[in-house]
Amino acid sequence: MASMQTLGGPSPGQSCVLILIFTVLLQSLCVAVTYMYFTNELKQLQNKYSKSGIACLLKEDDSSWNPTEQDDMDSPCWEVKWQLRQLVRKMILRTSEESISTVQEKQQSGPSLEGVRRVAAHLVGTSQRSTTSSAPGSNNEKVLGQKIKSWESSRKGHSFLNNLHLRNGELVIHQTGLYYIYSQTYFRFQETEETPGAISKAENRKKSKQMVQYIYKFTSYPDPIMLMKSARNSCWSKDSEYGLYSIYQGGMFELKENDRIFVSVTNEQLIDLDQEASFFGAFLVA
């Protein structure tokens, strides 16, 4: 009889396997139910927190915010406002630090050269020759030589004007400061054919050629003030057909608002006003 019962029922090993499988299924079911429960709760909590935060920002919550009261500190609305306040404070501090750093860098780097680039002029010669000689009784009676008025300032070639303007051959200053002023004039002498009897006169004329360049300024003072002059006295060879000479000078001077600077030369008829040869300019240094 015992052997027949043993053959008809499950063995102990099979029973253990069945119990193990049942236990695993039960645990899996419990884990699934628990996961679904907590997921649902977290979703509801997140929705509730988001709606509460949005309500705080949109002022849908009429309760006042007083961080000294424990009830308000425990509310989600207070937490949202506190986090927003911390974020704003952090951004303000970062912006302030960047601004201070930028100011310090500018102070350490020294004065900007932007003004130097903006206040400048370079005038070149033009073929339309126009000069004014010093005439007795005029305002220019104490100006030596003839003032050059044939300057090109309309950005043709290399010419330009920035925060200065040209009037009657004079550069008008608009900003007080220290300026570098420069000018070059190009002298070209072309010998004409002379008769044998006039050779001595031609030679005397060559010997008398003096090339002088002056730079003046007009101020509130009635008389013009000479800033610079440069001269050259050369004798052309008897066998030469022409002579070429250039005079350049430059220097730094303090100019005031409404001062006017200009160039004058002797023997104006010898000036070659080619734009690469004769020019006049100034720029603000400080």
Q: Are 90 and 63 in contact (CB under 8 A)?
A: no
> Does position 78 have pLDDT exceeding 80, yes or no?
no
| Confidence category of residue 191, pLDDT binned at 50, 70, 90 | low
- How far is the C-alpha of 91 from the C-alpha of 80, rounded, in Å? 17
The pLDDT assigned to 96 comes to 76
The pLDDT assigned to 27 comes to 85
Closest by Cα among 58, 152, 164 to 120 = 164
The pLDDT assigned to 115 comes to 42
The pLDDT assigned to 214 comes to 97
DSSP secondary structure letters along 114-170: HHHHHSEEEEEE-SS--EEE--TTSTTTT--SEEE--EE-SSSTT-EEES-EEETTE
The pLDDT assigned to 131 comes to 46
Q: Are 216 and 226 in contact (CB under 8 A)?
A: yes
Report, as an integer, the average pLDDT of 251-267: 95
> Does position 157 have pLDDT exceeding 50, yes or no?
yes
pLDDT over 90, % of the chain: 28
Report, as an integer, the average pLDDT of 76-81: 68
More confident residue, 256 or 202: 256
> Does position 6 have pLDDT exceeding 80, yes or no?
no
- Residue pLDDT, tens place only, 98-143: 777 666 666 665 555 444 458 999 999 886 655 444 433 334 668 9
pLDDT over 70, % of the chain: 63
Instruction: Give the mean pLDDT of the chain.
Output: 76
More confident residue, 104 or 233: 233
> Does position 208 have pLDDT exceeding 60, yes or no?
no
The pLDDT assigned to 59 comes to 55
CA distances from 241 to 40, 189, 203, 244 (A): 108, 8, 12, 11
- How far is the C-alpha of 181 from the C-alpha of 171, rounded, in Å? 11
Q: Where do the domains of the chain lie, and which CATH numbers do they carry?
A: 114-284 (2.60.120.40)
- How far is the C-alpha of 221 from the C-alpha of 236, rounded, in Å? 41
The pLDDT assigned to 91 comes to 78
Q: Name the most confidently modeled range: 40-54, 201-215, 261-275.
A: 261-275
The pLDDT assigned to 54 comes to 60
User: What's the predicted TM-score (pTM) here?
Assistant: 0.54
